């Protein structure tokens, strides 16, 4: 996974080190730090986790253990337009699965991955709490309600 080392930008690393310092480099703040780190880098590559481990004085294995436990954290860069399909129960019984299948077919990527052009990434999430609009799809911060499989094409067209 990290056999190919990626290079991190110096100013982003500085910002991350600063974030750790703002949390007093306390190991107990690991999850807060990872949230901020994902905010800075967009994702959590191995190198970022190594810096966090070093700054908070915890093992890299532990950081990786935490990152892989929580679905909010990702080690894969998200697409320019991250697509999330709500798989909450309300959306499920109103056909979210079919909408998801349509996205998979149109984008030709499985859940959790990004299209080769880096434009879209596809993910599921559990209930955004907009059950009245079920099924719900989010693209970036924008919410689409009552999405049908036929509507997938239109949504994607907006970002063409």
Partner 1 sequence: MSKYKMNILVCGGTGCKSSASDLLAAALRTELAERGLSGEVQVVVTGCFGFCEQGPVVNVLPDNTFYIKVKPEDAVTIVSEHIIKGRKVQNLLYTDPATQTKVDGSGAIDFNKKQLRIALRNCGFIDPEKIEEAIARDGYAALARVLTESSPEEVIGIIKKSGLRGRGGGGFSTGLKWEITSTVEADQKYVVCNADEGDPGAFMDRSILEGDPHTVIEAMAINGYCTGADKGLVYIRAEYPLAIERLKTAINQAREYGLLGKDILGSGFNFDIELRYGAGAFVCGEETALIHSMEGNRGEPTFKPPFPSEEGYLGKPTNVNNVETYANIPPIILKGADWFSSIGTEKSKGTKVFALAGKVNNVGLVEVPMGTTLREVIFEIGGGIKDGKKFKSVQTGGPSGGCLTEKHLDIPIDYDNLIASGSMMGSGGMIVMDEDDCMVSVAKYYLDFTVEESCGKCSPCRIGNKRLHEILDEITKGNGKPDDLDRLRNLSEVIKDTSLCGLGQSSPNPVLSTLEHFHDEYMAHVVDFKCPAGQCRDLMIYTIDAANCVGCTACARVCPVGAIAGERKEVHSIDQTICIKCGACLEKCKFNAVLVS
Partner 2 sequence: MNKIKITIDNKPIEVDPGTSLLKAADTVGIKIPTLCYLHLEDLNIENKPGGCRICVVEVAGRRNLAPACATQCLDGMIVRTNTMRVLNARKTVMELILSDHPFDCLICAKSGQCDLQKLAQDLGIREIHYKGEQSHYKEDRSPSIIRDMDKCILCRRCEMMCNDFQTVGALSGINRGFMAVVATAFEQDLVKSPCTYCGQCVAVCPTGALTEVDHTNQIIRLLANPKKTVIVQTAPAVRAALGEEFGLEPGTLVTGKLVSALKQLGFDYVFDTDFAADLTIMEEGTELLKRLTNYLNGDKEESLPILTSCCPAWVNFFEEYFPELNDIPSTARSPQQMFGAIAKTYFADKIGVDRKDLVVVSIMPCLAKKYECQRDEFKVDGNPDVDFSLSTRELAALIKQANIDFLTLPDDDFDSPMGESTGAGVIFGTTGGVIEAAVRTAYELYTGKKLEKIGFEELRGMAGIRQATLDFDGLPINIGIAHGLGNARELLESIKAGTCSFHAIEIMACPGGCIGGGGQPLHHGNSQVIVARQKAIYQEDASKPIRKSHENPYIKKLYDEFLGSPLSEKSHHLLHTRYFDRSKTKVIIKKEQE
Q: How far apart are CA 117 and CA 115, in angstroms?
A: 5
Segment near partner 2 (CB under 8 A); pick from 7-15, 87-95, 127-135, 150-158: 7-15
In whole angstroms, the minimum distance from the beta carbon of 27 to partner 1 comes to 6
Three-state DSSP at 7 gives coil
Q: Is residue 42 within the footprint of partner 2 (CB under 8 A)?
A: no
| DSSP assigned state of 109 | -
In whole angstroms, the minimum distance from the beta carbon of 141 to partner 1 comes to 8
Q: How far apart are CA 42 and CA 125, in angstroms?
A: 18
Segment near partner 1 (CB under 8 A); pick from 12-20, 90-98, 110-118, 151-159: 90-98
Structure-token pair, residue 122: 């596809």
> Contact with partner 2 (CB under 8 A): which of 10, 117, 141, 150?
10
Closest by Cα among 151, 156, 155, 92 to 124: 92
Number of Cβ atoms within 10 Å of the Cβ of 76? 13
Count how many residues are written for the chain. Answer: 160
Q: Which residues bind partner 2 (CB under 8 A)?
A: 1-3, 5-11, 13, 46-47, 49-51, 53-54, 58-65, 68-69
Q: Which residues bind partner 1 (CB under 8 A)?
A: 26-32, 34-35, 58, 65-66, 69-73, 87-90, 92-94, 125-134, 136, 142-145
């Amino acid at each position: 996974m990290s056999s190919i080392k990626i290079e991190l930008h110096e100013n982003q690393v500085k910002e991350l080190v600063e974030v750790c310092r703002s949390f007093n480099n306390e190991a107990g703040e690991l999850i807060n730090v990872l949230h901020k780190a994902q905010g800075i880098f967009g994702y959590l590559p191995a190198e970022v986790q190594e810096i966090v481990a070093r700054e908070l004085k915890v093992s890299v294995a532990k950081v990786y253990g935490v990152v892989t436990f929580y679905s909010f954290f990702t080690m894969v860069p998200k697409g320019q337009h991250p697509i999330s399909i709500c798989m909450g129960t309300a959306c499920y019984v109103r056909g979210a699965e079919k909408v998801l299948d349509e996205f998979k077919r149109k984008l030709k990527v499985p859940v959790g991955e990004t299209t080769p052009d880096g434009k879209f990434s596809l993910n599921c999430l559990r209930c955004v709490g907009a059950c009245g609009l079920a099924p719900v799809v989010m693209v970036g911060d924008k919410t689409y309600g009552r999405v049908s499989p036929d509507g997938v094409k239109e949504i994607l067209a907006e970002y063409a």
